Amino acid sequence: MLTQKEKSALLDTAKKLNVKYDDLYNLINFESRFKPFAKNPRSSARGLIQFTDNTARSLGFKTSADLVSRYPTVTEQLKPVYVYLKQFYPFKNKQSLFMSVFYPRYRNVHPKTLFPESVRKVNPGINTPQDYINKVEGKLLQKIPPLIILLGIAYIMYRYHFNKSGGGNNGEKESAGDRTGNRDGNNGEGFKESRTK
């Protein structure tokens, strides 16, 4: 949760860039959860919008680690966020803002254009600008047909009612093995092993 000072700084940044507060909020929240020292384990990317070493150098820093150490808070780090994004101004739509952070070359392409394989490889599930937009906005469930979601909910309710009424187990309580989906009576140990392999 952002403090009032952080919200105010974010609103000020959004106004200066002429973008919606919610769009900038969602973008930073997706990239770093507003953690100024967030680090991508697959690259040099760090900070609120995951500055890479190359991006940090283009802004006058030695590395991305140097940038985040000099601007260690949300409020402070919004300054280099603004400087970085300002170079792409104006933003004609949400995609041009989001792609400025994720893959600037695709700011103005069709939303269904495939990213190069190298980009897709290190960003599983993000194949197009629209995929990225959906993830930033939390719209992943939109890809699942509503009927499947309803069937899943109906099945869960049926199982809950069925088990609560004692159906299927002659009124006896289930064992821990039954709840984990394990039927061999080893209290779920085999189930755990298979998940970690």
The per-residue pLDDT for range 4-56, each reduced to its tens digit, is: 999 999 999 999 999 999 999 999 999 999 999 999 998 899 999 999 999 99
Residue 121: which H helix or E strand, with range?
Answer: helix 117-122
Bridge partners (DSSP) listed for residue 39: 46
Structure pTM? 0.71
Task: Pick 4-142's CATH classification: 1.10.1050.10, 1.10.530.10, 3.10.20.30, 3.30.1490.100.
Answer: 1.10.530.10
Look at 5-14, 30-39, 112-121, 147-156 and tell me which has the smallest mean pLDDT.
147-156
Render pLDDT for 63-98 as a digit per residue (tens, 0 to 9). Answer: 999 999 999 999 999 999 999 999 999 999 999 999
Residue spans of the domains in the chain: they are 4-142, 148-174
Q: How many residues does the chain have?
A: 197
Give the gyration radius of the chain's Cα atoms.
23
Strands (E), the chain: none
Of residues 8 and 191, more confidently modeled: 8
